[in-house]
Amino acid sequence: MNKNKKRPTMGDVARLSGVSQTTVSFVINDVPNTNISEKTRAAVMKAVKELGYTPNAMAIGLRTSQSHVIGLVADEIAITPFGGYIIQGAQDAARENRRLIMLMNSGKDASIENEEIGILLSRQVEGIIFATMRHRIIEPSQLLYQIPSVLLDCRDADNSLPSIVPDEFLGGYQATEALLKKGHRCIGMINTSENVPSAHLRENGFRQALTDHGTPVDDNLIAYGNDGNAKTGYDGAKTLFSRYEQMTALFCFNDRVAMGAYDALRLMQKRIPEDVAVIGFDNYEIIAANLYPELTTMHLPLYEMGRWAVEKVLQIAQSTGENESPQQVTIPCPLVMRNSI
């Protein structure tokens, strides 16, 4: 096999199929009202297949002013365990719409973000998705307003760009409600003290569920750590049980926190779920599905968010309604029932 074989051209397809290059172009690009017979179309497509011909996407983009590429700029999401789900969702939606995803990672550096967005604009992408690792409020680059753009897992303060984020209030509410429905009334929460929407919303959901089910909210049943890692869960569980030995359930800010809580409960010789029920958040499967017992948790719908972002960018790109209000979407976080409650 000749590895240096020249890439076939439209002229090669025309010669093999016995038609003009114009006819080949009309067939490949499915140009309407050209009166080309089915026999000719079949001959052209047979030649395309035999030669392994692929159209020059760059040339097509220059001619049509459509690159069929969507930019995905991420602060850290491209290098996190969760990022793969967002990227997969975006890629699946893009492929279904005959588009490609161009992924760029900024490492939370605003100057790099602007540079990357500028590069995408120069490449004539059809739109840009800006994604963050954690749900937060951002100040978008002004360059995003020059092109159809969508925010993923973040929002700008004045809602000037369309966005999609997980419904973390409802997730916190439903996690707590799942424990209440199991008969638990003395329920603790281990949260992070970080000033991020996910921490505030999940705790607000926790508080509201208790209130709606007639269970008093006791601030001493909420413990805070510096971050969302296992040490916060370990220290938080020990702190809460030093205050309330009768506590029978824990809602943890995320699955890493729950993992730390598991360790503390074992040290205190408390069985899960017989003595203490535990529920997490995120459905980080490498943790949740491999703890013993397997962790019940709330699922972050990252794949669905990636799909929605691509479909929204394309909708905006194809829309003529300049006065439409940017859509702000919250998407539910389903309960994943395992064996810990």
Q: What is the pLDDT of residue 322?
A: 60
Which residues share a beta bridge with 277?
Answer: 249
Q: What is the pLDDT of residue 128?
A: 96
- Side-chain-side CA neighbours of 81 within 13 Å: the count stands at 9
The region of weakest confidence among 79-83, 164-168, 176-180, 312-316 is 79-83
108 or 284, higher pLDDT: 284
What does pTM read for this prediction?
0.80
| Confidence grade of residue 323 (pLDDT, cut at 50, 70, 90) | low
- For residue 182, the one-letter residue type is K
Q: What is the pLDDT of residue 27?
A: 87
Query: pLDDT at residue 2 above 80?
Result: no
Average pLDDT, the chain: 91
**Chain center to CA of 230:** 23
Q: Which residues contact 40 (CB under 8 A, 6 or more apart)?
A: 17, 19, 23, 27
Residue entry with tokens 């017979």? 37
Q: What is the pLDDT of residue 57?
A: 57
Among residues 276, 278, 203, 192, which one has the least CA distance to residue 235? 192
The Cα 341–Cα 137 span in angstroms is: 33
- The continuous run of DSSP H or E covering 328 comes out as strand 328-331
Q: How far is CA 111 from CA 75, 115, 265, 283, in A?
A: 12, 6, 45, 33
Query: pLDDT at residue 63 above 70?
Result: no
The Cα 242–Cα 264 span in angstroms is: 12
Asked whether the bond before 162 is cis by omega within 30 degrees of 0, the reply is no
Phi, psi of 205 (to 5 degrees): -65, -40
234 or 113, higher pLDDT: 234
Q: Which residues contact 219 (CB under 8 A, 6 or more apart)?
A: none
The Cα 125–Cα 58 span in angstroms is: 11
Q: Which residues contact 143 (CB under 8 A, 6 or more apart)?
A: 114, 117, 118, 121
- The continuous run of DSSP H or E covering 104 comes out as strand 100-105
End-to-end alpha carbon distance in the chain: 60
Where do the domains of the chain lie, and which CATH numbers do they carry? Answer: 10-55 (1.10.260.40), 69-166+303-333 (3.40.50.2300), 168-299 (3.40.50.2300)
| Confidence grade of residue 35 (pLDDT, cut at 50, 70, 90) | confident
Q: What is the pLDDT of residues 168-212, one digit of tens each?
A: 999 999 999 999 999 999 999 999 999 999 999 999 999 999 999
Q: Which residues contact 216 (CB under 8 A, 6 or more apart)?
A: 210
